[in-house]
Amino acid sequence: MEIGLMLSILGAAIAAALSGAGTAWGVSIPGRAANGLLSEEPEKFGNCLILVALPGTQGIYGFISGVIILITLGLLGGEPKHPTLLQGLAFLGVGIFQATVQWVSSIYQGKVCAAGIAIVAKHPEDSMKGVVNGVIVETYAVLGLLITLLLILFGIAPTLK
């Protein structure tokens, strides 16, 4: 296998795998807080669920980025491409960028959502305030996905043969 293709595939794998790992960590933070609350007040499960699930989207964004790289390479249908070493390094860099953004944003979003669980515990009628704060962190995960897609589709892909 050519080195450019290997680096490109590695970039896709890193984007998906590390985003998923960050998501697992991110959802575990409010998950632990919610479990503590739910052991005393199980009726608050619905209010806790969205706060626990919110940091899980970053894994989806990393997966989408990995799939887009593989589609761009023609490995999921289409004509297989043969990226040069430089193009392979570009795909690897994009994968590392995506993984870093999603990993970090998931963990910090998990911390914000765990604080939102404290709102649910003391003031369940205000639980949407915790969700809104968590969504603010989500904005940067979405921006990371957007720049990744722009880099792939308009930066690297047009140079492939």
Mean pLDDT value across residues 8-27:
98
- Enumerate the domain spans of the chain: 3-159
Q: Would you say residue 86 has pLDDT above 90?
A: yes
DSSP 101: H
User: 147: which 2 tokens?
Assistant: 């720049």
CA dist 143 and 60 (Å) reads 14
Averaged confidence pLDDT in the chain: 96
Residues near 47 by Cβ (< 8 Å), separated by ≥ 6? 120, 124, 127
Q: Would you say residue 11 has pLDDT above 90?
A: yes
| From 20-24, 48-52, 128-132, 157-161, the region with the lowest mean pLDDT | 157-161
CA dist 62 and 104 (Å) reads 12
CA dist 60 and 49 (Å) reads 18
Mean pLDDT value across residues 119-144:
95
pTM: 0.93
Q: For the stretch 124-149, what's the b/e string if a residue is b when 16 or more beta carbons lie within 10 angstroms of its beta carbon?
A: eeebeebbebbbebbebbeebbeebb
Burial bucket for residue 46 (CB in 10 Å: 0-12, 13-18, 19+): exposed
- 3-state SS class at 77: strand
Conformation bin of residue 78: beta by default, left when phi > 0, alpha when psi is -120 to 50: left
| Model pLDDT, residue 87 | 97
Fold of 3-159: Four Helix Bundle (Hemerythrin (Met), subunit A) (1.20.120)
**Nearest of 94, 83, 86 to residue 11 by alpha carbon:** 94
Q: Please tell me the number of Cα atoms within 13 Å of 35 on its side-chain side.
A: 6
